[in-house]
Amino acid sequence: MPTIAIYNPVCGDQTAKSFFEEHVLPLCSSSSKPISSVLSTERIGHSGELVRQELEKTPVNEILTIILGSGDGTLGEIINYLSSAELKGTRAGAPPPEIHLVLVPCGTANALYSSLFPPGDAKASPLDYKLRSTMSFIENSRVVPLTLAITTISTPPTAKLRPKATAATVVASTCLHALILHDSESLRATIPGIDRFKVAAKQNSTKWYNSHAKLLPIASLGVVQLYDPESKIFRDHPDADEDDPIVDLHGPFVYFVSTVNVDRLEPAFRITPLAKDITPSEATCDIVVIRPFEDPTVEMDTPEAREAFVPKVLAVLQEAYNNGNHINLRYNREGGVSMEGDGPFVVEYIRCGGWEWNPDDIDDDAHLVCLDGAISTIEKGGRAVCVAATPQTNAGFMVHV
């Protein structure tokens, strides 16, 4: 079973190369798990090419293990490259490969790693913390499958173009989160760390997004679920029944973030905490939505109403850093947001099989979609459809945990 190492030398604080040379490679060479090649990515898109070349040399009945030093973006790049690549060599005409991943968190946010290995749980030093997946590979070989969120962005029916599908392993989002990722890219050079996300959040805090979302049922249950913070369980969504299991959500929206595999997007930002606290038993999307018309004091979409809503959104985002406590925030009669309110919950926390996003033609900002950090734009008249997919047996990506 071949094992290769691939690192992205420019991700995060650009220390992946030295971290591999000083820690990961010596650890592996002193174990019984030899590494056949050590590869560095040289450009955008290169990681997928490197994995393809290795796969084409790997016998069909063998699993390829990749020790991957990167953030979430490089992993997404590999998965998407392989999903559309026509493999040759030993893999010509063969069924989809099984790939095992050993993650070394070298990126900026490392959402997948910090969800699989929550930092608070670690009694280890920072060095030991970064080597947890590596140690699992060396010592016990326990793996978990990755769920994929397959998002298809369609053009209007009149365009007659083939829809484009992208697989995400962490997040598919629209609204504020997509705008934050979009704007934070231009801040990368001046603010290399995760503070650039906070700056970008402030820049976009007064925007509301006009769209119509449809929530698709969980495959085995046939329903969409809504979390009830009072009883702390998921219930069947009140707007769905067996005859019509699809739930319609009308805008405006401020926040729409859907995750798979993760309960956090940064080590401390637990935006979908129930992904860990009430673990789903199959491939599902956990979605956090904020719609300002759920606030009992909001009656119209005006500049004043948007301005007054800003502190409420920031309170939710802030509370997500408090171990995911934002899901318990409520409005009070004055429209204030706190744990003590007796009004509606500020966040709608949904678990479903997928969703569809139909932005209003006139709202440009509602057309941005973030897929694991990469931004796509839905054309006017188009839509995005995201579905959580379970990997087939003996295929897909498994992570050492």
Ligand X SMILES: Nc1ncnc2c1ncn2[C@@H]1O[C@H](COP(=O)(O)OP(=O)(O)OP(=O)(O)O)[C@@H](O)[C@H]1O
**Could you say whether residue 183 binds ligand X (CB under 6 A)?**
no
**Could you say whether residue 184 binds ligand X (CB under 6 A)?**
no
Q: Which of 18, 26, 36, 42 binds ligand X (CB under 6 A)?
A: 42
**Could you say whether residue 69 binds ligand X (CB under 6 A)?**
no
CB of 297 to ligand X, least distance (A): 36
**Could you say whether residue 43 binds ligand X (CB under 6 A)?**
yes
Q: Which of 5, 11, 180, 384 binds ligand X (CB under 6 A)?
A: 11
Q: Yes or no: say if 350 and 227 are a contact pair by the CB < 8 Å rule.
A: yes
**Interface with ligand X: number of residues (CB under 6 A):** 22
Nearer of residues 8 and 211 to ligand X, judged by Cβ: 8
CB of 370 to ligand X, least distance (A): 11
CB of 105 to ligand X, least distance (A): 8
**Could you say whether residue 44 binds ligand X (CB under 6 A)?**
yes
**Could you say whether residue 73 binds ligand X (CB under 6 A)?**
yes
Q: Which of 373, 378, 384, 396 binds ligand X (CB under 6 A)?
A: 373
SS3 assignment, position 100? strand
Nearer of residues 84 and 220 to ligand X, judged by Cβ: 84
Nearer of residues 45 and 222 to ligand X, judged by Cβ: 45
**Could you say whether residue 48 binds ligand X (CB under 6 A)?**
no
Nearest to 175 by CA among 327, 370, 330: 370
- 267-270 own/partner pairs: CB under 8 Å, 24+ apart: 267/109, 267/110, 267/114, 267/119, 268/119, 268/321, 269/320, 269/321, 270/320, 270/321, 270/323, 270/324
Stretch that binds ligand X, among 6-14, 267-275, 313-321, 358-366 (CB under 6 A): 6-14
Backbone φ and ψ for 176, nearest 5 degrees, come out as -55, -45
Nearer of residues 181 and 224 to ligand X, judged by Cβ: 181
**Could you say whether residue 72 binds ligand X (CB under 6 A)?**
yes
Distances (CA, A) of 204 to 196, 211, 301, 320, 380: 13, 17, 16, 18, 21
Nearer of residues 163 and 193 to ligand X, judged by Cβ: 193
Nearest to 277 by CA among 217, 222, 339, 234: 234
What mask of x and - would describe binding to ligand X in positions 103 to 122, judged by CB under 6 A? ----xxxx------------
Q: Apex CA 268: angle with CA 308 and CA 78, to 5°?
A: 110
**Could you say whether residue 41 binds ligand X (CB under 6 A)?**
yes
Nearer of residues 146 and 352 to ligand X, judged by Cβ: 146
Stretch that binds ligand X, among 4-12, 24-32, 127-135, 358-366 (CB under 6 A): 4-12
Backbone φ and ψ for 317, nearest 5 degrees, come out as -65, -40
Q: Which of 51, 67, 71, 180 binds ligand X (CB under 6 A)?
A: 71
- What residues from 338 to 367 belong to the interface with ligand X (CB under 6 A)? none
For the chain, what is the largest distance between any 2 Cα atoms, rounded to a whole number of angstroms? 67
Tokens 């300002």 -> residue: 292
Distances (CA, A) of 389 to 145, 149, 219: 11, 6, 10
CB of 57 to ligand X, least distance (A): 22
The CB-side HSE value for 195 (13 A sphere, CA atoms) comes to: 5
Strands (DSSP E) found in 242-379: 247-250, 255-259, 285-290, 330-331, 337-338, 348-352, 354-359, 368-371, 374-377
Q: Which of 5, 19, 55, 77 binds ligand X (CB under 6 A)?
A: 77
Residue type, 333: R
Contacting positions for ligand X (CB under 6 A): 8-12, 41-46, 70-74, 77, 107-110, 373
